[in-house]
Amino acid sequence: MPAWSTTLSASRWLSRSLLLIAGALQTLTFSPFELWWLGPLSALLIVLVSVPLRPERLFAAGWFTGLGLFGSGASWVYISISQYGNTSIPVSVLLTVIFVAGLALFHGLAFWFWGKLAKDSQIRRLLLFPAIWILGDWLRGWLLTGFPWLYLGTAHTDGPLAGWAPLLGVHGLTFWVTVSGAAIYGAWWLISQRRHTAAALTLVVMALPWLAGPSLNRVAWTDVSTEPTSFAAMQGNIPQQIKWDPEFLKDQIVTYLGMTEEHWDTDLILWPETAIPIPQDQAGKIIDHIDERLGADSTLITGIPWYGFSDRIEDFTFHNSIMAVGNGDGMYHKQKLVPFGEYVPLQGVLRGLIGFFDLPMSDFSRGPEYQEPLVANGIQVMPFICYEVAYPDFVAFNSRGADLLLTISNDGWFGDSIGPLQHLQIARMRALETGRYMVRGTNNGVTAIIDHRGRLTETIPQFERATLRGQVYTATGSTPYMQTGSWPVLTLAVILVVFVRERVIPPSSASGS
Protein backbone atom coordinates (compact mmCIF):
# COMPACT_ATOMS: atom_id res chain seq x y z
CA MET A 1 0.00 0.00 0.00
CA PRO A 2 1.13 3.64 -0.53
CA ALA A 3 3.86 4.80 1.86
CA TRP A 4 1.98 8.00 2.73
CA SER A 5 -0.97 5.90 3.93
CA THR A 6 1.32 3.99 6.26
CA THR A 7 2.78 7.25 7.52
CA LEU A 8 -0.67 8.61 8.41
CA SER A 9 -1.51 5.43 10.30
CA ALA A 10 1.74 5.37 12.26
CA SER A 11 0.71 8.22 14.56
CA ARG A 12 -2.05 7.21 16.98
CA TRP A 13 -3.06 10.81 17.59
CA LEU A 14 -3.23 11.65 13.88
CA SER A 15 -4.93 8.44 12.80
CA ARG A 16 -7.64 8.67 15.47
CA SER A 17 -8.25 12.33 14.73
CA LEU A 18 -8.72 11.50 11.05
CA LEU A 19 -11.13 8.69 11.90
CA LEU A 20 -13.17 11.02 14.10
CA ILE A 21 -13.34 13.45 11.19
CA ALA A 22 -14.28 10.67 8.78
CA GLY A 23 -17.16 9.62 11.03
CA ALA A 24 -18.36 13.20 11.42
CA LEU A 25 -18.27 13.72 7.64
CA GLN A 26 -20.97 11.07 7.34
CA THR A 27 -23.35 13.17 9.42
CA LEU A 28 -23.01 15.90 6.79
CA THR A 29 -24.35 13.52 4.14
CA PHE A 30 -27.76 13.43 5.84
CA SER A 31 -30.46 16.06 6.25
CA PRO A 32 -30.36 18.96 6.74
CA PHE A 33 -26.91 19.15 5.10
CA GLU A 34 -27.42 16.53 2.36
CA LEU A 35 -23.82 16.53 1.11
CA TRP A 36 -24.11 12.94 -0.16
CA TRP A 37 -20.76 13.12 -1.98
CA LEU A 38 -18.97 13.17 1.38
CA GLY A 39 -19.97 9.52 1.86
CA PRO A 40 -17.36 8.03 -0.50
CA LEU A 41 -14.83 10.58 0.79
CA SER A 42 -15.46 9.41 4.34
CA ALA A 43 -15.07 5.77 3.29
CA LEU A 44 -11.83 6.63 1.48
CA LEU A 45 -10.44 8.36 4.55
CA ILE A 46 -11.35 5.41 6.76
CA VAL A 47 -9.58 2.84 4.58
CA LEU A 48 -6.68 5.24 4.08
CA VAL A 49 -6.05 5.24 7.82
CA SER A 50 -7.27 1.78 8.81
CA VAL A 51 -5.99 -0.61 6.15
CA PRO A 52 -2.30 -0.34 7.18
CA LEU A 53 -3.00 -0.64 10.93
CA ARG A 54 -1.94 -3.64 12.96
CA PRO A 55 -4.92 -5.94 13.66
CA GLU A 56 -4.92 -5.16 17.38
CA ARG A 57 -5.47 -1.46 16.59
CA LEU A 58 -8.53 -1.94 14.39
CA PHE A 59 -11.04 -2.13 17.24
CA ALA A 60 -9.97 1.34 18.38
CA ALA A 61 -10.07 2.54 14.76
CA GLY A 62 -13.68 1.42 14.42
CA TRP A 63 -14.64 2.88 17.78
CA PHE A 64 -13.22 6.30 16.93
CA THR A 65 -15.01 6.20 13.57
CA GLY A 66 -18.28 5.46 15.33
CA LEU A 67 -17.56 8.12 17.91
CA GLY A 68 -17.24 10.71 15.15
CA LEU A 69 -20.45 9.53 13.48
CA PHE A 70 -22.72 9.23 16.50
CA GLY A 71 -21.15 12.08 18.43
CA SER A 72 -22.09 14.43 15.60
CA GLY A 73 -25.14 12.68 14.20
CA ALA A 74 -27.03 11.30 17.22
CA SER A 75 -26.11 13.49 20.15
CA TRP A 76 -29.56 15.13 19.82
CA VAL A 77 -30.63 12.55 22.40
CA TYR A 78 -29.20 15.01 24.95
CA ILE A 79 -32.25 17.24 24.44
CA SER A 80 -34.75 14.56 25.43
CA ILE A 81 -32.64 13.55 28.43
CA SER A 82 -31.98 17.08 29.69
CA GLN A 83 -34.98 19.20 28.72
CA TYR A 84 -37.75 16.61 28.93
CA GLY A 85 -36.24 14.00 31.24
CA ASN A 86 -35.91 16.33 34.23
CA THR A 87 -32.25 15.40 34.49
CA SER A 88 -29.39 17.64 35.57
CA ILE A 89 -26.94 18.87 32.93
CA PRO A 90 -23.95 16.84 34.25
CA VAL A 91 -25.99 13.62 34.33
CA SER A 92 -27.48 14.39 30.89
CA VAL A 93 -24.02 14.91 29.42
CA LEU A 94 -22.83 11.67 31.01
CA LEU A 95 -25.77 9.66 29.67
CA THR A 96 -25.31 11.16 26.20
CA VAL A 97 -21.62 10.26 26.23
CA ILE A 98 -22.49 6.70 27.30
CA PHE A 99 -25.10 6.48 24.53
CA VAL A 100 -22.70 7.70 21.83
CA ALA A 101 -19.77 5.60 23.09
CA GLY A 102 -22.01 2.53 23.29
CA LEU A 103 -23.21 2.92 19.71
CA ALA A 104 -19.60 3.37 18.57
CA LEU A 105 -18.86 -0.11 19.92
CA PHE A 106 -20.72 -1.58 16.95
CA HIS A 107 -18.13 -0.07 14.61
CA GLY A 108 -15.38 -1.19 16.96
CA LEU A 109 -16.67 -4.77 16.93
CA ALA A 110 -16.98 -4.77 13.12
CA PHE A 111 -13.43 -3.48 12.70
CA TRP A 112 -12.11 -6.01 15.23
CA PHE A 113 -13.72 -8.75 13.14
CA TRP A 114 -12.17 -7.15 10.06
CA GLY A 115 -8.73 -7.48 11.63
CA LYS A 116 -9.33 -11.10 12.57
CA LEU A 117 -10.36 -12.01 9.03
CA ALA A 118 -7.47 -10.31 7.22
CA LYS A 119 -4.78 -9.75 9.78
CA ASP A 120 -1.95 -10.70 7.42
CA SER A 121 -3.06 -8.94 4.25
CA GLN A 122 -3.83 -5.31 3.59
CA ILE A 123 -5.28 -6.21 0.19
CA ARG A 124 -7.74 -8.57 1.87
CA ARG A 125 -8.71 -5.79 4.23
CA LEU A 126 -9.44 -3.48 1.33
CA LEU A 127 -11.59 -6.11 -0.40
CA LEU A 128 -13.44 -6.95 2.81
CA PHE A 129 -14.13 -3.39 3.92
CA PRO A 130 -17.58 -2.98 2.27
CA ALA A 131 -18.73 -6.38 3.55
CA ILE A 132 -17.60 -5.63 7.09
CA TRP A 133 -19.30 -2.25 7.07
CA ILE A 134 -22.62 -3.70 5.90
CA LEU A 135 -22.57 -6.53 8.42
CA GLY A 136 -21.80 -4.03 11.17
CA ASP A 137 -24.74 -1.85 10.08
CA TRP A 138 -27.05 -4.86 10.07
CA LEU A 139 -25.96 -5.90 13.55
CA ARG A 140 -26.52 -2.37 14.86
CA GLY A 141 -30.04 -2.37 13.41
CA TRP A 142 -30.93 -5.68 15.04
CA LEU A 143 -29.15 -6.21 18.37
CA LEU A 144 -30.95 -5.01 21.52
CA THR A 145 -33.95 -3.79 19.45
CA GLY A 146 -31.51 -1.95 17.15
CA PHE A 147 -30.56 1.59 16.21
CA PRO A 148 -31.14 1.67 12.42
CA TRP A 149 -30.14 5.30 12.07
CA LEU A 150 -27.43 7.08 10.05
CA TYR A 151 -27.00 4.44 7.36
CA LEU A 152 -24.84 5.96 4.62
CA GLY A 153 -27.31 4.94 1.90
CA THR A 154 -30.05 7.09 3.43
CA ALA A 155 -28.18 10.16 2.18
CA HIS A 156 -29.16 9.22 -1.38
CA THR A 157 -32.84 10.13 -1.24
CA ASP A 158 -31.72 12.93 -3.55
CA GLY A 159 -28.39 11.42 -4.61
CA PRO A 160 -27.35 9.62 -7.81
CA LEU A 161 -27.76 6.17 -6.24
CA ALA A 162 -31.45 6.76 -5.41
CA GLY A 163 -32.59 4.74 -8.43
CA TRP A 164 -31.10 1.60 -6.88
CA ALA A 165 -33.14 1.85 -3.67
CA PRO A 166 -36.20 -0.07 -4.99
CA LEU A 167 -33.85 -2.91 -6.03
CA LEU A 168 -31.28 -3.07 -3.25
CA GLY A 169 -32.62 -1.04 -0.33
CA VAL A 170 -30.62 1.28 1.87
CA HIS A 171 -28.00 -1.38 2.71
CA GLY A 172 -27.32 -1.88 -0.99
CA LEU A 173 -26.72 1.83 -1.41
CA THR A 174 -24.44 1.87 1.63
CA PHE A 175 -22.53 -1.08 0.20
CA TRP A 176 -21.73 0.80 -3.00
CA VAL A 177 -20.73 3.97 -1.17
CA THR A 178 -18.16 1.95 0.79
CA VAL A 179 -17.09 0.06 -2.34
CA SER A 180 -16.44 3.43 -3.97
CA GLY A 181 -14.16 4.61 -1.17
CA ALA A 182 -12.24 1.33 -1.23
CA ALA A 183 -12.02 1.37 -5.06
CA ILE A 184 -10.53 4.87 -5.17
CA TYR A 185 -7.91 3.83 -2.62
CA GLY A 186 -7.21 0.66 -4.59
CA ALA A 187 -6.85 2.61 -7.82
CA TRP A 188 -4.29 4.89 -6.21
CA TRP A 189 -2.31 1.87 -5.10
CA LEU A 190 -2.50 0.32 -8.58
CA ILE A 191 -1.24 3.57 -10.10
CA SER A 192 1.69 3.55 -7.65
CA GLN A 193 2.47 0.05 -8.95
CA ARG A 194 2.30 1.36 -12.54
CA ARG A 195 -0.74 -0.81 -13.25
CA HIS A 196 -2.66 1.94 -14.97
CA THR A 197 -5.01 -0.29 -16.94
CA ALA A 198 -6.12 -2.11 -13.81
CA ALA A 199 -6.58 1.22 -12.01
CA ALA A 200 -8.72 2.59 -14.84
CA LEU A 201 -10.84 -0.58 -14.93
CA THR A 202 -11.37 -0.39 -11.17
CA LEU A 203 -12.61 3.20 -11.41
CA VAL A 204 -14.87 2.42 -14.38
CA VAL A 205 -16.55 -0.50 -12.58
CA MET A 206 -16.93 1.64 -9.45
CA ALA A 207 -18.55 4.46 -11.46
CA LEU A 208 -21.11 2.36 -13.35
CA PRO A 209 -23.83 2.23 -10.63
CA TRP A 210 -23.42 5.97 -10.01
CA LEU A 211 -23.99 6.62 -13.71
CA ALA A 212 -26.88 4.15 -14.03
CA GLY A 213 -28.74 5.36 -10.95
CA PRO A 214 -30.46 8.39 -12.56
CA SER A 215 -31.77 6.21 -15.40
CA LEU A 216 -33.26 3.75 -12.90
CA ASN A 217 -35.25 6.62 -11.37
CA ARG A 218 -37.46 6.47 -14.45
CA VAL A 219 -38.39 2.80 -13.96
CA ALA A 220 -41.95 2.28 -12.69
CA TRP A 221 -41.62 -0.56 -10.19
CA THR A 222 -45.17 -0.16 -8.90
CA ASP A 223 -48.46 0.81 -10.52
CA VAL A 224 -49.45 4.18 -9.08
CA SER A 225 -53.13 5.09 -9.41
CA THR A 226 -54.20 8.22 -11.29
CA GLU A 227 -57.19 8.64 -8.96
CA PRO A 228 -56.28 11.07 -6.16
CA THR A 229 -57.26 10.72 -2.51
CA SER A 230 -57.74 14.02 -0.71
CA PHE A 231 -55.63 14.28 2.43
CA ALA A 232 -55.31 16.59 5.41
CA ALA A 233 -52.89 16.38 8.35
CA MET A 234 -53.04 18.48 11.50
CA GLN A 235 -49.76 19.59 13.12
CA GLY A 236 -50.85 20.76 16.56
CA ASN A 237 -47.43 21.90 17.83
CA ILE A 238 -48.39 20.93 21.39
CA PRO A 239 -45.55 21.80 23.83
CA GLN A 240 -43.90 18.62 25.06
CA GLN A 241 -44.00 19.90 28.65
CA ILE A 242 -47.82 19.75 28.74
CA LYS A 243 -48.34 16.74 26.47
CA TRP A 244 -49.24 14.36 29.31
CA ASP A 245 -50.52 16.90 31.83
CA PRO A 246 -54.21 16.10 32.63
CA GLU A 247 -54.94 19.81 33.11
CA PHE A 248 -54.22 20.43 29.42
CA LEU A 249 -56.00 17.35 28.04
CA LYS A 250 -59.15 19.23 27.00
CA ASP A 251 -57.12 22.01 25.37
CA GLN A 252 -55.24 19.50 23.22
CA ILE A 253 -58.38 17.74 22.01
CA VAL A 254 -60.10 21.09 21.31
CA THR A 255 -57.01 22.16 19.33
CA TYR A 256 -57.16 19.17 17.00
CA LEU A 257 -60.95 19.31 16.65
CA GLY A 258 -60.73 22.99 15.79
CA MET A 259 -57.99 22.41 13.20
CA THR A 260 -60.13 19.70 11.59
CA GLU A 261 -63.31 21.82 11.49
CA GLU A 262 -62.98 22.72 7.80
CA HIS A 263 -61.75 19.30 6.72
CA TRP A 264 -64.29 16.74 7.97
CA ASP A 265 -65.21 15.78 4.37
CA THR A 266 -61.60 15.07 3.35
CA ASP A 267 -61.04 11.45 2.27
CA LEU A 268 -58.20 10.85 4.72
CA ILE A 269 -57.44 12.93 7.83
CA LEU A 270 -54.36 12.34 9.97
CA TRP A 271 -53.61 13.33 13.55
CA PRO A 272 -50.07 12.62 14.92
CA GLU A 273 -48.69 10.19 17.48
CA THR A 274 -50.74 10.15 20.71
CA ALA A 275 -52.73 13.18 19.53
CA ILE A 276 -55.38 11.82 21.87
CA PRO A 277 -53.26 11.51 25.03
CA ILE A 278 -55.56 9.15 26.95
CA PRO A 279 -56.16 5.41 26.39
CA GLN A 280 -58.94 4.37 24.05
CA ASP A 281 -60.96 2.88 26.91
CA GLN A 282 -61.28 6.39 28.37
CA ALA A 283 -61.71 8.25 25.08
CA GLY A 284 -65.06 6.86 23.97
CA LYS A 285 -66.86 10.21 23.91
CA ILE A 286 -64.05 11.82 21.91
CA ILE A 287 -64.00 9.00 19.37
CA ASP A 288 -67.80 9.05 19.06
CA HIS A 289 -67.73 12.82 18.46
CA ILE A 290 -65.12 12.40 15.73
CA ASP A 291 -67.18 9.64 14.12
CA GLU A 292 -70.29 11.86 14.11
CA ARG A 293 -68.48 14.82 12.51
CA LEU A 294 -66.77 12.89 9.72
CA GLY A 295 -68.28 12.85 6.24
CA ALA A 296 -69.82 9.66 4.91
CA ASP A 297 -66.68 8.83 2.88
CA SER A 298 -64.09 10.23 5.29
CA THR A 299 -61.67 8.46 7.62
CA LEU A 300 -59.64 9.97 10.45
CA ILE A 301 -56.54 8.14 11.62
CA THR A 302 -55.03 9.17 14.93
CA GLY A 303 -52.38 8.12 17.38
CA ILE A 304 -53.80 7.03 20.74
CA PRO A 305 -52.57 4.89 23.65
CA TRP A 306 -54.37 1.57 24.04
CA TYR A 307 -55.07 -0.18 27.33
CA GLY A 308 -56.61 -3.61 27.69
CA PHE A 309 -56.06 -7.31 28.11
CA SER A 310 -53.46 -8.84 25.80
CA ASP A 311 -53.90 -12.49 24.89
CA ARG A 312 -50.26 -12.58 23.82
CA ILE A 313 -48.86 -11.72 27.26
CA GLU A 314 -51.97 -12.80 29.20
CA ASP A 315 -52.16 -9.57 31.18
CA PHE A 316 -53.45 -6.00 30.97
CA THR A 317 -51.04 -3.72 29.19
CA PHE A 318 -50.49 -0.42 27.40
CA HIS A 319 -49.68 -0.11 23.69
CA ASN A 320 -48.60 2.91 21.67
CA SER A 321 -51.26 2.63 18.98
CA ILE A 322 -52.98 4.17 16.00
CA MET A 323 -56.63 3.73 15.03
CA ALA A 324 -59.01 4.49 12.18
CA VAL A 325 -62.36 6.21 12.80
CA GLY A 326 -65.24 6.85 10.38
CA ASN A 327 -65.34 5.17 6.98
CA GLY A 328 -62.46 2.95 8.00
CA ASP A 329 -61.43 0.32 10.46
CA GLY A 330 -58.46 -1.05 12.35
CA MET A 331 -56.12 -0.63 15.29
CA TYR A 332 -52.36 -1.03 15.06
CA HIS A 333 -50.03 -1.47 18.06
CA LYS A 334 -46.42 -0.34 17.74
CA GLN A 335 -43.93 -3.22 17.52
CA LYS A 336 -40.55 -1.46 17.58
CA LEU A 337 -40.33 0.34 20.91
CA VAL A 338 -37.74 2.98 21.82
CA PRO A 339 -35.64 1.98 24.86
CA PHE A 340 -36.15 4.41 27.79
CA GLY A 341 -38.67 6.42 25.77
CA GLU A 342 -41.38 3.75 25.56
CA TYR A 343 -40.05 1.06 27.84
CA VAL A 344 -37.27 0.91 30.42
CA PRO A 345 -34.86 -2.06 30.30
CA LEU A 346 -34.17 -3.39 33.79
CA GLN A 347 -36.91 -1.10 35.05
CA GLY A 348 -36.91 -2.76 38.45
CA VAL A 349 -33.41 -1.36 38.95
CA LEU A 350 -33.55 1.91 36.97
CA ARG A 351 -37.00 3.28 37.79
CA GLY A 352 -36.75 6.18 40.18
CA LEU A 353 -33.00 6.75 39.90
CA ILE A 354 -33.30 9.87 37.71
CA GLY A 355 -36.13 11.63 35.92
CA PHE A 356 -35.12 10.26 32.53
CA PHE A 357 -36.02 6.74 33.65
CA ASP A 358 -39.53 7.89 34.60
CA LEU A 359 -40.65 9.66 31.43
CA PRO A 360 -44.45 9.81 30.89
CA MET A 361 -45.85 6.77 29.07
CA SER A 362 -42.57 4.85 29.21
CA ASP A 363 -44.24 1.55 30.09
CA PHE A 364 -45.63 0.42 26.74
CA SER A 365 -45.62 -3.21 25.61
CA ARG A 366 -44.61 -4.35 22.13
CA GLY A 367 -47.47 -5.05 19.74
CA PRO A 368 -47.92 -8.44 18.05
CA GLU A 369 -46.21 -9.32 14.79
CA TYR A 370 -48.00 -9.58 11.43
CA GLN A 371 -50.69 -6.97 12.07
CA GLU A 372 -53.13 -6.11 9.33
CA PRO A 373 -53.15 -2.70 7.66
CA LEU A 374 -55.73 -0.12 8.60
CA VAL A 375 -58.58 0.37 6.14
CA ALA A 376 -59.58 3.88 5.06
CA ASN A 377 -62.27 4.26 2.38
CA GLY A 378 -61.35 0.83 1.05
CA ILE A 379 -57.63 1.74 0.91
CA GLN A 380 -55.18 -0.56 2.67
CA VAL A 381 -53.04 1.78 4.79
CA MET A 382 -49.96 0.34 6.50
CA PRO A 383 -49.02 2.47 9.52
CA PHE A 384 -45.65 2.87 11.20
CA ILE A 385 -45.31 4.70 14.48
CA CYS A 386 -42.31 7.00 14.90
CA TYR A 387 -39.11 4.93 15.23
CA GLU A 388 -40.55 1.97 13.29
CA VAL A 389 -40.08 3.72 9.95
CA ALA A 390 -36.30 3.54 10.46
CA TYR A 391 -36.26 -0.27 10.03
CA PRO A 392 -35.88 -0.92 6.28
CA ASP A 393 -36.73 -4.62 6.16
CA PHE A 394 -39.55 -4.24 8.67
CA VAL A 395 -41.18 -1.57 6.50
CA ALA A 396 -40.58 -3.46 3.25
CA PHE A 397 -42.10 -6.69 4.60
CA ASN A 398 -45.14 -5.05 6.20
CA SER A 399 -45.83 -2.91 3.13
CA ARG A 400 -46.63 -5.89 0.93
CA GLY A 401 -50.26 -5.63 -0.07
CA ALA A 402 -50.61 -2.06 1.25
CA ASP A 403 -51.87 0.68 -1.05
CA LEU A 404 -50.50 3.57 0.98
CA LEU A 405 -47.94 4.01 3.78
CA LEU A 406 -48.43 6.20 6.81
CA THR A 407 -46.18 7.23 9.66
CA ILE A 408 -46.94 9.32 12.72
CA SER A 409 -44.43 10.75 15.13
CA ASN A 410 -43.80 13.20 17.94
CA ASP A 411 -40.28 14.52 17.36
CA GLY A 412 -40.82 17.22 19.95
CA TRP A 413 -38.53 15.17 22.21
CA PHE A 414 -35.56 16.34 20.12
CA GLY A 415 -36.32 20.05 19.93
CA ASP A 416 -34.64 22.22 17.31
CA SER A 417 -31.98 19.65 16.44
CA ILE A 418 -31.08 17.73 13.30
CA GLY A 419 -32.79 14.58 14.63
CA PRO A 420 -36.31 15.29 13.27
CA LEU A 421 -34.89 16.22 9.85
CA GLN A 422 -32.94 12.96 9.75
CA HIS A 423 -36.16 11.17 10.66
CA LEU A 424 -37.98 12.77 7.72
CA GLN A 425 -35.22 11.69 5.33
CA ILE A 426 -35.44 8.13 6.63
CA ALA A 427 -39.19 8.12 5.89
CA ARG A 428 -38.42 9.34 2.37
CA MET A 429 -36.04 6.43 1.84
CA ARG A 430 -38.77 3.97 2.91
CA ALA A 431 -41.16 5.46 0.33
CA LEU A 432 -38.46 5.18 -2.33
CA GLU A 433 -37.68 1.54 -1.43
CA THR A 434 -41.34 0.49 -1.59
CA GLY A 435 -42.52 2.62 -4.51
CA ARG A 436 -45.42 3.97 -2.46
CA TYR A 437 -46.71 7.29 -1.25
CA MET A 438 -46.12 7.88 2.42
CA VAL A 439 -48.00 10.44 4.49
CA ARG A 440 -46.33 11.71 7.65
CA GLY A 441 -48.13 13.31 10.57
CA THR A 442 -46.16 14.89 13.40
CA ASN A 443 -46.86 17.00 16.46
CA ASN A 444 -44.41 19.78 15.60
CA GLY A 445 -42.81 18.87 12.28
CA VAL A 446 -42.03 17.87 9.73
CA THR A 447 -45.54 16.89 8.57
CA ALA A 448 -45.35 15.91 4.91
CA ILE A 449 -46.61 14.06 1.86
CA ILE A 450 -43.89 11.92 0.27
CA ASP A 451 -44.43 10.49 -3.19
CA HIS A 452 -43.49 7.04 -4.47
CA ARG A 453 -40.04 8.28 -5.52
CA GLY A 454 -39.23 9.67 -2.09
CA ARG A 455 -39.85 13.28 -3.07
CA LEU A 456 -41.57 15.79 -0.80
CA THR A 457 -44.73 17.13 -2.43
CA GLU A 458 -46.22 19.06 0.53
CA THR A 459 -44.74 20.00 3.91
CA ILE A 460 -45.43 22.10 7.00
CA PRO A 461 -42.44 23.86 8.57
CA GLN A 462 -41.38 22.81 12.04
CA PHE A 463 -42.80 24.44 15.17
CA GLU A 464 -45.92 25.81 13.50
CA ARG A 465 -49.53 24.99 14.25
CA ALA A 466 -50.91 24.36 10.78
CA THR A 467 -52.88 22.01 8.55
CA LEU A 468 -51.38 20.34 5.52
CA ARG A 469 -53.69 19.70 2.57
CA GLY A 470 -52.86 17.75 -0.54
CA GLN A 471 -53.51 14.68 -2.64
CA VAL A 472 -52.05 11.20 -2.37
CA TYR A 473 -52.17 8.23 -4.72
CA THR A 474 -52.39 4.54 -4.00
CA ALA A 475 -50.02 1.98 -5.51
CA THR A 476 -50.12 -1.73 -6.23
CA GLY A 477 -47.36 -4.21 -6.96
CA SER A 478 -44.02 -4.67 -5.26
CA THR A 479 -40.51 -3.40 -5.80
CA PRO A 480 -37.74 -6.04 -5.95
CA TYR A 481 -36.56 -4.88 -2.52
CA MET A 482 -39.99 -5.55 -1.00
CA GLN A 483 -39.71 -9.15 -2.17
CA THR A 484 -36.15 -9.86 -1.08
CA GLY A 485 -35.39 -7.35 1.65
CA SER A 486 -31.72 -6.88 2.46
CA TRP A 487 -30.84 -10.55 2.16
CA PRO A 488 -29.14 -10.38 -1.26
CA VAL A 489 -26.77 -7.64 -0.04
CA LEU A 490 -26.14 -9.40 3.28
CA THR A 491 -25.55 -12.71 1.50
CA LEU A 492 -23.06 -11.02 -0.83
CA ALA A 493 -21.26 -9.62 2.20
CA VAL A 494 -21.02 -13.06 3.79
CA ILE A 495 -19.79 -14.58 0.50
CA LEU A 496 -17.10 -11.92 0.30
CA VAL A 497 -16.02 -12.66 3.86
CA VAL A 498 -15.73 -16.39 3.17
CA PHE A 499 -14.25 -16.16 -0.31
CA VAL A 500 -11.70 -13.38 0.28
CA ARG A 501 -10.62 -14.77 3.64
CA GLU A 502 -10.07 -18.30 2.46
CA ARG A 503 -9.29 -18.29 -1.24
CA VAL A 504 -8.21 -15.11 -2.97
CA ILE A 505 -5.15 -13.32 -1.69
CA PRO A 506 -2.19 -15.11 -0.18
CA PRO A 507 -1.01 -13.65 3.13
CA SER A 508 1.40 -10.74 3.03
CA SER A 509 2.99 -8.79 5.79
CA ALA A 510 1.01 -5.94 7.34
CA SER A 511 2.76 -2.62 7.62
CA GLY A 512 3.29 -3.01 11.35
CA SER A 513 1.95 0.44 12.16
List, in sequence order, the alpha helices (H) in 240-296.
249-260, 284-293
- For 311, half-sphere exposure in the C-beta direction (CA atoms, 13 angstrom radius) is 1
DSSP string, 100-146: HHHHHHHHHHHHHHHHHHSTT-HHHHHHHHHHHHHHHHHHHTTGGG-
* Distance, CA of 513 to CA of 496 (rounded, Å): 26
Query: In this structure, are residues 386 and 273 in contact, taking their beta carbons and an 8 Å threshold?
Result: yes
User: Is 262 marked active-site?
Assistant: no
The catalytic position among 243, 342, 386, 433 is 386
Residue 465: partners with Cβ closer than 8 Å, 6 or more residues away: 235, 236, 237, 255, 259
Active site residue 119: no
Nearest of 8, 6, 59, 2 to residue 511 by alpha carbon: 6
Residue 235 β-bridge partners: 466
Q: Are strands 315-326 and 331-333 parallel, antiparallel or unpaired?
A: antiparallel
* Angle of the 284-293 helix axis to the 249-260 helix axis, nearest 10: 10
Pick the closest to residue 65 from 76, 50, 78, 52 (CA basis): 50
User: β-strands 315-326, 268-270: how paired?
Assistant: unpaired
Q: Would residue 273 show up in a list of annotated catalytic residues for this protein?
A: yes
Q: How many Å apart are CA 149 and CA 387, to the nearest integer?
A: 10
CA-to-CA distance for 434 and 18, rounded, in angstroms?
37
Q: Give the closest residue to 174 by CA, choosing from 496, 490, 507, 424.
A: 490
- Partnered with residue 154 across adjacent β-strands are none
Q: Which of 243, 334, 388, 433 is catalytic?
A: 334
Q: Which residues are CB-neighbours of 247 under 8 A, at least 6 positions away?
A: none
DSSP strands (E only) in 249-346: 268-270, 299-310, 315-326, 328-329, 331-333
Q: Choose, from 273, 342, 388, 433, the residue flagged as catalytic.
A: 273
Phi, psi of 477 (to 5 degrees): 90, 175
Task: Label residue 144 left, alpha or beta by phi (over 0 means left) and psi (-120 to 50 means alpha).
Answer: left
Say which amino acid occupies 453: R
Instruction: List b or e across 261-271, with b for residues whose CB sees 16 or more CB atoms inside 10 angstroms.
Output: eebbebbbbbb
Give the separation between CA 446 and CA 421, rounded to whole angstroms. Answer: 7
Cα separation of 80 and 243, whole Å?
A: 14
Q: Which residues contact 425 (CB under 8 A, 6 or more apart)?
A: 30, 31, 34, 154, 155, 157
Q: Which residues are catalytic?
A: 273, 334, 386
